Amino acid sequence: MNTDLEFRSPQIHVEIDRERAALYGLNPADIQNALYGAYGPRNVSMIYSPKTQYRVVMEVEKKYQAFSDYLSKIYFKTNDGVLVPMDSLAKIKETVGPQSISHAGQLPSVTVSFNLKNGVSLGDVVEKLQQKAKEILPGTISARFSGNAAAFQDSLNDLGILFLVAVLVVYIVLGVLYESYIHPLTILSGLPSACLGALLTLYVTGGELNIYSFVGLIILVGIVKKNAIMQVDFALAAQRAGAISPSEAIYQGCLIRFRPIMMTTVAAMLGAIPIALGSGPGGEARRPMGLTVMGGLAVSQIMTLYLTPVVYTYMAKVTARRKQRGSVLAPPPQPAPGFSD
């Protein structure tokens, strides 16, 4: 760890005794003006010449600016004409302060930089630093990340939005394809189990949730919905071809589509094994993506075969009830007007 706050500059703190100064009829503003007149660049006059002009700056002699002991030689005149030395009105302390004060915007700031040990993720360090900052720092000091840590936080926020946008786009495409609001929900019902399996795999293997993990989650969206599409397509075709119930149609879809679902899932898992093992140059960085794909597919494969038929059957009942309500609420057809003899 490293910081840009270096206490190497000698400083003098003057702590004014306000009660004692009030006894002599003085206020802190009088003491501050006197110190600024002694050591600050105060212009008191201007000397004009035929060719130029000179500013007159008031200050104490250079020899009295070398040590803090000479501050006691500054006297203040009270309303009674009594001269009071600085030692009687303030406490003088010699300390060490920062050589320079950095600013973030208009506020003074201190930058603490750090490197990571091997095997330690940036996400874990950011989380621990946030917890320590809440425990240690007072309410008047705020902490925020910059550099790689800030980019890491921004990337996580953007990736979460990107994942939601990907799911929404898939839902819209499926809705246009099936011309229904119900069937896309049935197809996407296996996505929570896939995300649960991916996160559980990362937790067990000690992987981190980084940009590669989110890429693996987006890949899962396509693979998991593909399995459900096979089942739902066959069930809808079977219902339209013959007068069978939704439960029977989805049951036949699971039996007939079981082989292609298993083939595609196993092929995807086998393709993700080299990435999950972290082989090759830079493989450690891509390892969470392989673990995410393998864990999500393993859990979703089991859940899809059982969860999708249940959701399909339930949604079919909801659709049938809506159609029945619509037919009951619809007014009976009126006879066309005509003439009778």
Q: What is the CATH number of domain 156-325?
A: 1.20.1640.10
Pick the CATH number of 9-102 from 3.30.2090.10, 3.30.930.10, 3.90.1200.10, 2.60.40.10: 3.30.2090.10
Beta carbons of 183 and 315 less than 8 angstroms apart: yes
Which residues fall within 8 angstroms of residue 21, CB to CB, at 6 or more apart? 27, 28, 30, 31, 89
Taking each helix axis from N to C end, the angle separating 283-329 and 246-256, rounded to the nearest 10 degrees, works out to 150
Which residues fall within 8 angstroms of residue 104, CB to CB, at 6 or more apart? none
Which segments of the chain are extended strands (E)? 2-3, 7-16, 42-48, 53-58, 75-77, 83-85, 90-98, 102-104, 107-109, 112-113
Per-residue pLDDT of the chain (341 residues; tens, 9 = 90+): 778 777 888 888 888 888 888 888 888 888 888 888 888 888 888 999 888 999 888 888 888 888 888 888 888 888 788 888 888 888 888 888 887 788 877 888 888 888 877 767 666 777 788 888 888 888 888 887 777 666 666 666 677 788 888 888 888 888 888 787 888 888 888 888 888 888 888 888 877 777 778 888 888 888 888 878 888 888 888 877 876 788 888 888 888 888 888 888 888 888 888 888 877 666 677 788 888 888 888 888 777 778 888 888 888 887 777 777 765 554 555 555 554 44
**pTM of the complete model:** 0.54
Q: Which amino acid is at 137?
A: L
Of 156, 200, 169, nearest in space to 297 by CA? 200
In the chain, where the domains are located: 9-102, 156-325
Buried b (16+ CB within 10 A) or exposed e, 294-305: bbbbbbbbebbb
pLDDT tens profile 19-50: 888 888 888 888 888 888 888 888 888 999 88
